[in-house]
Amino acid sequence: MSCIYNEKVKRSVAPLVCLLVIFGMSLIMVSYFGTKIGLTQEMKTAMDLVLTMIFLLAGYAVISKAREVYRYSIIADDLIIHRISGEKNHLVTRVKLSEIKSLHYSRTRRNLLGAVKRNYSRNLVKLGCCCEYQDEGNAKSFYFSPSQSMLNKINHSLRTS
């Protein structure tokens, strides 16, 4: 199949901000209950500093993830995914369309941490379409959020090969 298709997907900020607010509220509650159980002032100050550092690091991670844009391209027989962060453009994965075994919306998550690492979709919390493929004899997978038009092109390519 010789076609060219290109689309960009921007990450949704709302779920990440909600997670950050929930995380901040939980840190405040931990600090409050630390006071209620009778911690000394030095211990309370140290705990507050640690919790504040954790919150700031989580905030930085949320902001950096929210700025990511993914570009999905089909060029000739390749599905190419790029991550664009500001001015930087990184090749995330390149898969031959002939190596794709299945595309489906996964309901079960066997390895949540691995699924989040390989999540190239618009929503970091909710996983998108799962692409399972063979790479040098190894079964691999990743999640992404293609449009219906792109899914049709990939499925058409899978049927013709």
> Can you give the three-state secondary structure of 107-143, one letter per residue?
CCCCCHHHHHHCEECCCCCCCCEEEEEEECCEEEEEE
pLDDT at res. 112: 56
Q: Domain 1-161: state its class.
A: mainly beta
pLDDT for position 34: 75
What lies within 8 Å, CB to CB, of 56 at 6+ separation is: none
Phi, psi angles (nearest 5°) of residue 109: -120, 105
Cα–Cα distance between 13 and 147 in angstroms, integer?
Answer: 19
Burial of 20 from C-beta contacts in 10 A (0-12 / 13-18 / 19+): middle
CA distance linking residue 127 with residue 144, whole number of Å: 8
Query: In the chain, what's the furthest Cα-to-Cα distance?
Result: 71
Q: Note the pLDDT of residue 123.
A: 65
pLDDT given at position 9 = 84
74 Cβ partners below 8 Å, 6+ apart? 3, 4, 5, 6, 80, 97, 150, 153, 154, 157
Give the number of other CB atoms < 10 A from CB of residue 119.
20
Global confidence as pTM: 0.69
Q: Both ends of the chain: CA-CA distance in Å?
A: 8
pLDDT on residue 113: 56
H or E element: which one contains 54? helix 41-66
pLDDT given for residue 1 in this prediction = 45
Alpha-carbon distance of 149 to 140, in angstroms, equals 24
* Residues in the chain with pLDDT values less than 50: 1
Where in the chain are the domains? 1-161
